[in-house]
C-alpha cells in the first residue's frame, strides 16, 4: 500500500454563527490543508498519483476560499464554516478527482494548535 501527502494553504475569514464566544465574531486564519491519498499500485514511472496534479486540483478548490469571508460561500449558507465543515467540503470535492485511488483524509489546520480531520 502506498500513500502520498500534499499540503497547501489559504487565507480566509469566518464567523461561527451561534457560537458562545469570540469565534462568533469575524476573524481570520492562515489555514493549512493536508490530504492523504492511498493506492495499491504505481504507474510505469513508479508514481501513485502525480503530486502536481493533486496540488492543482486542491488549489482549484482552495481558490474558492482564499481571501474571502467563508460565510459568504454557498457551501456554508446552511452550515457554519467550521474547520470540520471546511475539511468535509474539500474532501467531497477532491475525492472524485483522485479516483481510482482513495482519498483517506483531509486535515485542516486553523492554527498551530487546532486542526480538524475528515475521513469517509
* Domain with 87 in it: 56-113
Which of 3, 23, 27, 64 is the catalytic position? 23
What is the mean predicted confidence (pLDDT) over 99-109?
A: 96
Average pLDDT on 25-49 reads: 97
14 catalytic per annotation:
no
**CA angle centred on 5, ends 100 and 65, rounded to 5°:** 90
Grid cell for residue 98? 483522485
pLDDT at 49: 96
Catalytic residue selected from 9, 27, 60, 67: 67
44-73 pLDDT, tens digit per residue, is 999 999 999 999 999 999 999 999 999 999
Q: What is the pLDDT of residue 56?
A: 98
pLDDT level of residue 18 (50, 70, 90 thresholds): very high
> For position 23, what pLDDT does the model report?
95
With respect to residue 101, please indicate whether it lies within any of the assigned structural domains.
yes
Residue 82 lies in a domain: yes
How far is Cα 35 from Cα 6, in angstroms, rounded to an integer? 5
84 in catalytic set = no
Asked if residue 75 is part of any domain, the answer here is yes
Number of structural domains (the chain) is: 1
**Distance of alpha carbon 97 from alpha carbon 55, whole angstroms:** 11
- Residue 86: Cβ-neighbour burial (10 angstroms; 0-12, 13-18, 19+): buried
Q: What is the CATH number of the domain that holds 79?
A: 3.30.479.10
State the pLDDT at residue 9: 97
Whole-number Å distance between alpha carbons of 92 and 35: 12
Q: Is residue 8 part of a domain?
A: no
User: Minimal CA–CA distance to 83: which of 19, 14, 37?
Assistant: 14
Decide if 1 is inside a domain: no
- With respect to residue 16, please indicate whether it lies within any of the assigned structural domains: no
73 is catalytic: no
Q: pTM for the whole thing? A: 0.96
Amino acid at each position: 500500500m502506498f500513500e502520498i501527502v500534499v499540503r497547501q494553504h489559504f487565507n480566509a475569514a469566518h464567523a461561527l454563527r451561534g457560537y458562545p464566544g469570540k469565534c462568533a465574531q469575524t476573524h481570520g486564519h492562515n489555514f493549512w490543508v493536508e490530504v492523504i491519498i492511498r493506492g495499491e499500485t504505481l504507474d510505469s514511472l513508479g508514481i501513485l498519483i502525480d503530486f502536481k496534479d493533486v496540488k492543482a486540483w486542491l488549489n482549484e478548490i482552495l481558490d474558492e476560499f482564499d481571501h474571502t469571508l467563508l460565510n459568504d460561500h454557498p457551501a456554508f449558507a446552511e452550515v457554519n464554516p467550521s474547520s470540520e465543515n471546511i475539511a468535509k467540503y474539500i474532501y467531497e470535492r477532491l475525492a472524485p478527482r483522485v479516483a481510482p485511488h482513495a482519498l483517506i483524509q483531509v486535515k485542516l489546520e486553523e492554527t498551530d494548535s487546532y486542526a480538524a480531520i475528515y475521513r469517509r
